[in-house]
Amino acid sequence: MDEIVKEYLIESNEALDCMDRELVALEKEPSSRELLATIFRAIHTVKGTSGSLGYSKIESVAHVGENLLSRMRDGDLILTAEITSALLAMTDVLRRMLASIEETEEEGEFETGSVTDALHRILQNSTGMNNPSAAGSDKTGEILVERGAVSESLITSVVKMQEQGDARKIGDILVEEAGVSPLAIADALSVQAERRQQVTTSAIRVDVNLLDKVMNLVGELVLARNQVLQFTTNTEDSSFLRTAQRLNLITTELQEGVMKTRMQPIENIWKSFPRVVRDISLAGGKLAELEMEGAETELDKTIIEAIKDPLTHIVRNSVDHGIELPSVRQQAGKPPCGTVKLRAFHEGGQVNIVISDDGAGVDCARVRAKALEKQLVTPQQLTAMSDLQVMNLLFLPGFSTAAKVTNISGRGVGMDVVKTNIEKIGGTVAIDSVQGKGTTIKIRIPLTLAIIPALLVMSGGERFAIPQVSLVELVRLEGEAAISKIEMIHGAPVHRLRGKLLPLLSLNRQLNLPATVAGADDVPVVNIVVLQADGRQFGLIVDDINDTEEIVVKPLGKQLKGIHCFAGATILGDGRVALILDVPGLAQRAKLGSETQAQEVLDERKKATAESADAQSWLLFRVGNKGRLAIPLSTVSRLEEFDLAAIEVSDQRSVIQYRNAIMPLIFISDMLHLQGAREDESRFPVIVYSEGGKDIGLAVDEILDIVDEHVEYSNNTASDYLLGSAVLQARVTDLLNVPAIVDGFMRSSDFIPEERAEESIVYVN
Amino acid sequence: MSTERQFCTFLIDDLLLGVRIEEVQELIRHQPTTIVPLSSSELGGLINLRGQIVIAIDLRRRLGLEPRADDESAMNVILRTEDGLVSLLVDEIGDVVEVSEDDFGQPPETLVASGRELIQSVVMLDKNLLLILDTEKAVNVDSALMNQ
């Protein structure tokens, strides 16, 4: 395609975008002559260039629009919603024609009649009233008044002189006739130049590919610099050290400079939002206003591109789902016009984007119902969820709470896509909402993707880089703690970090790397890198933690795309290649791992409870006076003791508060119809059993012992809750079928044993 | 008159292999490689070629041959491919040979199965046979398969 046509397309599209933006702004401020002038200039440019390139259809459509705008500029017409819509429709048609030129180099056949007719109709309907035009928005004059150089009346009289045919510039007249100091005029003119910068800009257009290339080269330079700096550690040569230092400084500055060339204000995406909000609120019969703050916040071009669609989706959602109808809003005591607020700001090397609305907020009850209906969670999981967790269900694939699907949102591209796209560029999304008050969505994204700070770790003899964005903290366990502070739940290691359970992953195991052999006399050390992904934290056990370094991210070849543990590779200071860990990918992989682990545990348990179990550990306990029971120790999470007074009732079941959660209690004596011991003890033992991540307490009367025995048992029992009986420690012992008991308990809703206060209880987890 | 073509040759075990010289960017000696965990053994790892990260393919394993002994270091044949540079790890670099297209023949049936599909054709040289590598197939290592 011709260079001129390309230029024309870019320019015209920019002009149309500008029109969109300014029209919506003008609607709020109909008297602004400045906005009107900008719009007029834009359409005039489109008309002019189209005509000179021979695109007559575009020219004729733009011409009608220009006529209308010129009437408005003359004050014959006042902007109404109807006019705005007609003009916006016109920009849409023009855009389609431009797109057609881009694809086929022809204007294409477009039905432009309805758009131009609408514009003509407005033109004809205009009463033709002829307001005397106010003093032209002569900025030079206004600026002079603003700065106190001249009085307003003087300007008015000078403008009158101009109108009467004085061809001199306003500044010249003022200097010559009114004796205003030329300095003041020059000052005003420089201010004017500054303000008009967007019109006569000092910028040049640069091919993005060229910028990318330069960026790559700077990446190389950063690596070379890192290498050179490593040599400086082994040398005493002072001139070399000085040169290296200088190279270091220049490289850093160059890197920053080149990064800046790729930076774009977030306004570039935001500018289309006023139109989006207007269209959607109009279509839905709503009133909504868009407030923007921090539009000048800059982000790397690739990131700007990546967040455009997610942001648009969120803004649409805010208006379409968030903001209520004006009547509903008034009933709720809110102003009829809703507000969507966009805020962008830098914080800690990252950019925050906050999208908040003062709409209806998230209806958690509806989200719960929907999640159940779509079978995204089990009822048990749901009851344990806090409202915040429930809100995060919105990010699951296939979730849409919109009561009805409009043509604007609810088309299946949901918040899950938003989340995936943001996470792809190393960002995070969080949602917060108060029902009736509004919803806030907070996005955090890195400034750039090309060069990122990363933590270097060693594992299995290899070095890996972990992007700093995912990093939460580092934990080092030494000596005794290295062993005792890592606990196992069903074979999955966890660490208690300030009262919270942190699931642990071993990088060596995840990546099938050889385990590091610690020297015999070494103090055992465990290095845990606490990472955040998918809103969850987990600890990654690595062999060693090195240093943080600015790394240049390089993509991996297609041969490695299938491995989801790596986000790319980088070259370190010593010239060696290191892989960059993909933290969300790793978490995903590990989740699969833990599911298989859970499956393994289940299988094991099945095996254990099948005909004959091999030698294993059994927990012996007593229920009632005679009940001597056992369960495999592997199914037990913990043993606890509670006060009888701590038992509470919820949903007709006995529960107990345990580790910040509500744990249901199962009284084995009731399930097996055994006579309770009725001892006058105020505390009772509980066996804590975990299923599907939930704790369940089995209340027993007394914990007897733990035995390692090879058990053979006969399945001769009548109760479903028993697997059979065996001889343990030379006494007949019933083997409890814990899953069956839990199952039976879950089914029976009216399960409240009487006179519980007199029984002691053992909880089996 | 038939066209003469130039091939860059290298040795793997006692096989003489060749690739069209136009596809070769350069030959370099052994480079420190970074192993990619979870990837197939056919991938030798990643090397740093003057700031560019290049995947190295272990041609021995790719051809289904015995792995290289620990004390032998591989040479790198850097190829230009559609997806950027790829390095082939070979035992020894040979000469550049010029062969006429008339001398091309089908690979013998007796070649090992896994290696056979990577050999485009066979050229009979005076002393020995030159196996022409199908580079497109040779560098197409699927990581998903390697995952297993």
The total of other beta-carbon atoms located within 10 Å of residue B14's CB is 7
Higher pLDDT, residue A55 or B145: A55
Which residues of B lie inside 8 Å of A (Cβ-Cβ)?
32-39, 43, 45-48, 51-55, 57, 83-84, 86, 139-144, 146-147
Q: Do A559 and B84 touch (CB under 8 A)?
A: no
Q: Could you tell me the sign of the dihedral formed by the alpha carbons of A304, A308, A309, A315, in that order?
A: positive
Q: In the numeric block, which tokens belong to residue B129?
A: 């046979």
In angstroms, the separation between the Cα of residue A590 and the nearest Cα of chain B is 14
Average pLDDT of the segment spanning A96-111: 79
Q: Could you tell me the sign of the dihedral formed by the alpha carbons of A694, A700, A702, A707, in that order?
A: negative
Q: Is the pLDDT of residue A410 over 50?
A: no
CA nearest to A558 within chain B: B83
Residues of B in contact with A465 (CB under 8 A): none
Say if residues A605 and A634 touch (Cβ distance below 8 Å).
yes
Q: Is the pLDDT of residue A144 over 80?
A: no
Please tell me which of the candidates B37, B46, B144 has its beta carbon nearest to residue A511.
Answer: B37
Q: Is the pLDDT of residue A397 over 90?
A: no
Higher pLDDT, residue A68 or A193: A68
Q: Which phi-psi region, left, alpha or beta, contains residue A361 (left: φ > 0; alpha: ψ -120 to 50)?
A: left
Average pLDDT of the segment spanning A505-534: 76
Q: Is the pLDDT of residue A74 over 70?
A: yes
Look up tokens 């056990």; give the residue.
A541
In the prediction, which pLDDT does A132 show? Answer: 37
Residues of B in contact with A562 (CB under 8 A): 142-144, 146-147
In the prediction, which pLDDT does A128 show? Answer: 43
What's the per-residue H, E or C state across A279-318? HHHHHCCCCEEEEEECCCCEEEHHHHHHHHHHHHHHHHHH
Q: In the numeric block, which tokens belong to residue A469?
A: 């964005």
Residue of A217, A459, A559 for testing the chain B interface, max B β-carbons within 10 Å: A559
Average pLDDT of the segment spanning A688-713: 78
Give the CA distances from residue A382 to residues A342, A365, A402, A534, A599, in Å, rounded to whole numbers and listed in that order.
32, 11, 20, 19, 22
Torsion, Cα of A487, A492, A494, A499 (10° steps):
-90
Paired sense of beta strands B52-58 and B84-90, if any: parallel
Higher pLDDT, residue A191 or A683: A683
CA nearest to B31 within chain A: A576
Comparing A174-183, A192-201, A388-397, A468-477, the range with the smallest average pLDDT is: A192-201
Please tell me which of the candidates A223, A562, A577 has its beta carbon nearest to residue B46.
Answer: A577
Q: Do B53 and A577 touch (CB under 8 A)?
A: yes
Q: Is the pLDDT of residue A336 over 80?
A: yes
In the prediction, which pLDDT does A599 show? Answer: 44
Comparing A245-254, A616-625, A672-681, B134-143, the range with the smallest average pLDDT is: A672-681
Q: What is the CATH number of the domain that holds B125?
A: 2.40.50.180
* The one-letter amino acid at A686: V
Beta strands in A238-379 (DSSP E): 263-265, 288-293, 298-300, 338-347, 350-357
Give the CA distances from residue A196 to residues A11, A38, A200, A292, A648, in Å, rounded to whole numbers and listed in that order.
17, 11, 6, 22, 71
Comparing A17-26, A400-409, A644-653, the range with the smallest average pLDDT is: A400-409
Task: Render pLDDT for A431-453 as a digit per residue (tens, 0 to 9).
Answer: 888 888 888 998 888 766 667 78
Q: Is the pLDDT of residue A474 over 70?
A: yes
Supply the range of the domain harboring residue B66. 4-145
To the nearest whole number, what is the mean pLDDT of chain A?
A: 77
Q: Measuring CA to CA, which residue among A636, A631, A633, A634 is closest to residue A721?
A: A631
Average pLDDT of the segment spanning A500-523: 75
Residues of A in contact with B83 (CB under 8 A): 557-558
Q: Is the pLDDT of residue A392 over 50?
A: yes
- The DSSP secondary structure of chain B, one letter per residue, reads -PPEEEEEEEEETTEEEEEEGGGEEEEE-----B--TTS-TTEEEEEEETTEEEEEEEHHHHTTPPPPPTT---EEEEEEETTEEEEEEESEEEEEEEEEGGGEEPPPTTS-HHHHTTEEEEEE-SSSEEEEE-HHHHT---HHHHT-
A729 Cβ contact partners less than 8 Å away, ≥ 6 residues apart: A620, A705, A707, A709
Q: How far is residue A467's CA from residue A455's CA, in Å, rounded to a whole number?
A: 6
Look up tokens 């969505």; give the residue.
A441
In the prediction, which pLDDT does A591 show? Answer: 63
* Phi, psi values for residue A539, rounded to 5°: -105, 135
Higher pLDDT, residue A258 or A562: A258
Say if residues A637 and A696 touch (Cβ distance below 8 Å).
no
Q: How far is residue A99's CA from residue A112's CA, in Å, rounded to a whole number?
A: 15
In the prediction, which pLDDT does A147 show? Answer: 67
To the nearest whole number, what is the mean pLDDT of chain B?
A: 82
Q: Do A579 and B38 touch (CB under 8 A)?
A: no
- The DSSP secondary structure of A555-576, one letter per residue, reads PPPGGGTT-TTEEEEEE-TTS-
Which residues of A lie inside 8 Å of B (Cβ-Cβ)?
219-220, 223-224, 460, 462, 511-513, 554, 556-563, 565-566, 569-571, 575-579
pLDDT band with cut points at 50, 70 and 90 for residue A715? low
In the prediction, which pLDDT does A449 show? Answer: 66
Q: Is the pLDDT of residue A465 over 90?
A: yes
Please tell me which of the candidates B36, B51, B142 has its beta carbon nearest to residue A571.
Answer: B51
**ipTM, interface predicted TM-score of the complex:** 0.84
pLDDT band with cut points at 50, 70 and 90 for residue A404? very low
Average pLDDT of the segment spanning A47-52: 81
Higher pLDDT, residue A31 or A763: A31
- The DSSP secondary structure of A677-733, one letter per residue, reads -----SEEEEEEEEETTEEEEEE-SEEEEEEEEEEE-B---S-TTEEEEEEETTEEE
Say if residues A613 and A632 touch (Cβ distance below 8 Å).
yes
Q: Is the pLDDT of residue A408 over 70?
A: no
Half-sphere exposure of B59 (CA within 13 A, CB side): 30
Q: In the numeric block, which tokens belong to residue B124?
A: 């009979």
Residues of B in contact with A230 (CB under 8 A): none
Say what percent of chain A tops pLDDT 90: 4
If one counts the domains in chain B, the total is 1
Q: Do B142 and A511 touch (CB under 8 A)?
A: no
Higher pLDDT, residue A586 or A192: A586
Comparing A141-150, A597-606, A690-699, the range with the smallest average pLDDT is: A597-606
Q: Could you tell me the sign of the dihedral formed by the alpha carbons of A229, A233, A235, A239, in that order?
A: positive
In the prediction, which pLDDT does B2 show? Answer: 62
The total of other beta-carbon atoms located within 10 Å of residue A671's CB is 23
Comparing A593-597, A622-626, A678-682, the range with the smallest average pLDDT is: A593-597
In the prediction, which pLDDT does A601 show? Answer: 44
Per-residue burial over A628-652, b = 16 or more CB atoms within 10 Å of its CB, e = otherwise: bbbbbeebbbbbbebebeebeeeee
Q: Is the pLDDT of residue B82 over 70?
A: yes
* Phi, psi values for residue A164, rounded to 5°: -80, 5
CA nearest to A459 within chain B: B37
Q: What H or E segment, with its residue span, contains residue A234? A: none
Q: Is the pLDDT of residue A234 over 90?
A: no
Degrees (nearest 5) of the Cα angle A687, A691, A692?
155
Please tell me which of the candidates A220, A561, A578 has its beta carbon nearest to residue B34.
Answer: A578
Task: Render pLDDT for A146-172 as a digit per residue (tens, 0 to 9).
Answer: 666 677 777 777 777 776 767 677 777
CA nearest to B138 within chain A: A559
Average pLDDT of the segment spanning A389-393: 79
Q: Do A559 and B35 touch (CB under 8 A)?
A: no
Q: Measuring CA to CA, which residue among A690, A637, A695, A672 is closest to residue A759?
A: A672
Q: Do B34 and A559 touch (CB under 8 A)?
A: no
Degrees (nearest 5) of the Cα angle A660, A663, A666?
160
Average pLDDT of the segment spanning A604-633: 67
Residues of B in contact with A224 (CB under 8 A): 51
Residues of A in contact with B51 (CB under 8 A): 219-220, 223-224, 571
- Domains belonging to chain A, first-starting first, are 3-202 (1.20.120.160), 208-264 (1.10.287), 266-446 (3.30.565.10), 452-611 (2.40.50.180), 616-764 (2.40.50.180)
pLDDT band with cut points at 50, 70 and 90 for residue A30? confident
Name the most confidently modeled range: A66-75, A103-112, A611-620, A709-718.
Answer: A66-75
In angstroms, the separation between the Cα of residue B56 and the nearest Cα of chain A is 10
Q: Do A565 and B35 touch (CB under 8 A)?
A: no
Say what percent of chain A tops pLDDT 70: 82
Per-residue burial over B79-114, b = 16 or more CB atoms within 10 Å of its CB, e = otherwise: bebeeebbbbbbbebbeebebeeeebeebeeebeee
Q: How far is residue A497's CA from residue A495's CA, in Å, rounded to a whole number?
A: 6
CA nearest to B54 within chain A: A557
pTM metric for this prediction: 0.48
Q: How far is residue B87's CA from residue A252's CA, in Å, rounded to a whole number?
A: 32
Higher pLDDT, residue A591 or A287: A287
Q: Where are the alpha helices (DSSP H) in A476-540?
A: 480-484, 507-510
Task: Render pLDDT for A258-272 as a digit per residue (tens, 0 to 9).
Answer: 878 878 888 888 988
Q: Which phi-psi region, left, alpha or beta, contains residue A386 (left: φ > 0; alpha: ψ -120 to 50)?
A: beta
